Amino acid sequence: MAAITTTPADTPPADAPGIDTIRSSRQVGLAVATVLLGLVMVVAFGIGSASGLDATFVLSRKGQDLPDLTLPARATCLALGGAVIAVGLLQLVGLVRRRYYLIFSVVLLLFLVALLAWAARGTDTNIGGLLAGTLTRSIPLVLGALSGLLCERSGVINIGIEGMLLAGAFVGALVASAASTVWLGMLGGIGAGMLLGALLAVLSIRYRVDQIIAGTGINLLALGLTSFLTARVLVEYPDLNRPGAFRPLKLPLLGDLPLAGPVLFNNTVFVYLMYALVFGLAWALFRTRWGLRVRAVGEHPAAADTVGIDVLRTRYRSVIAGGGIAGLAGTWFTLDAVSGFDENMTAGRGFIALAALIFGRWHPIGAFSAALVFAFSEELQGRLAVLDTPIPGEFLLALPYVVTIVVVAGLIGRARAPAADGKVYERY
């Protein structure tokens, strides 16, 4: 009688590519991408620009007197492009075998320097303003990613971040206008986000609705409801859409640091709350009992239940708290960026925040770094448009979304989400 053999369900097929093969192919892909970026820097930015023009980078900001950095545009692009091509070739022949992602990050930085030198040839570019704009634009992305992080670390997928941003923005503007104080507007926006977070939690946990559909429904609900109330309330009573805005607050000593001070420590309260939430969650999730319980519920809820952790309560609390953070992110639009509400003003940033969460590998610091990358691409798009570069305007408008797709699809590899993410848990 022939012996019967069984194969574990999680054992890969015999012809499946191994981890080393996947890693090697990804390294070759990054090396090829490095060479292509170097060629663009040499041909388009270097040879394609006129000689004798300088690019001036202004470092002074908000009263600081720092010397400008002036570089010959064409020579800078040619030198940096040649260095990048050399690095890519060394990777292809196997002389560079480690730290591929770190090397590629440096390559991207050199590419950006060459791009700015080419775009700013014959003109001035304010580097301090570029960095400050990047940090400001990252606020809704970082907070939105942290909202998704709390939800998904506990096992609930939050596709409804976009709707929570919209609800927080609308309620924040309405409450701040009615109460004549931006602080109450912020609290109102947080409450609106928590309310939608509670709705997502009830649908996903209590009624076991598919979490993707539940989040999509929240997005549609928030978009339709805010559009209707804008037409019926804010248009009829324009005084209810004049919330005011938070003023910048300069931190003593830190705000006087050269270049970094005005960029990092002379901002509105949203930036300081973002710092606190990023580093606070990074510590709490990985250094406290609460964080251990949240991560256990998101990885193996049955095992967490056996040691006395209330899985459902932990998920409820995490999702509602995540909704509150998303509502806080929404108030940034109306109480800082614009000082007023407009229909669909979040413009898909909730989905970019989800991309930042994935790119950051479900870690607060990683999500913060990824959000800065996406915010920089958005700020760069605006700067290049002002500099009147020959790049088509349609491509510049799509640049932040192109960068999002390329980064998430090509750089993170196979990111591992929490094991129980999106899975319904039932007690027996």
Q: Quote the CA–CA distance of 352 and 408 in Å, as a whole number.
A: 10
pLDDT of amino acid 176: 97
Q: Quote the CA–CA distance of 136 and 138 in Å, as a whole number.
A: 5
Q: Residue written as tokens 């939050």? A: 158
- Strand pairing of 69-72 and 249-250? unpaired
Q: Residue written as tokens 């700020």? A: 379
Write the CB contacts of 55 (distance below 8 Å, at least 6 apart in sequence). Answer: 70, 71, 72, 73, 76, 116, 117, 118, 120, 121, 122, 123, 125
Q: Which domains does the chain have, with CATH numbers?
A: 21-122 (no CATH), 130-410 (1.10.3470)
CB burial readout 34-71, b (16+ within 10 A) else e: bbebbebbbebbbeebeeeebbbbbbbbeeeeeeeeeb
Along the chain (428 residues), what's the average pLDDT of each consecutive run of 10 residues? 42 48 68 89 84 79 76 89 92 78 82 85 82 94 96 95 97 96 96 97 94 96 96 93 94 87 92 97 96 95 93 96 97 94 93 90 92 88 77 70 68 73 83
Helices (H) and strands (E) in the chain, counts: 15, 5
Q: Quote the CA–CA distance of 206 and 138 in Å, as a whole number.
A: 34
C-alpha angle 33-353-228 in degrees, rounded to nearest 5: 135
pTM: 0.88
Contact by Cβ (8 Å): 150, 81? no
Q: Quote the CA–CA distance of 415 and 144 in Å, as a whole number.
A: 19
Structure tokens at 185: 């507007």
C-alpha angle 16-19-21 in degrees, rounded to nearest 5: 75
Structure tokens at 46: 């270097």
Q: What is the DSSP string of 322-349?
A: HHHHHHHHHHHIIIIISSS--TTTTTTH
What H or E segment, with its residue span, contains residue 190? helix 182-201
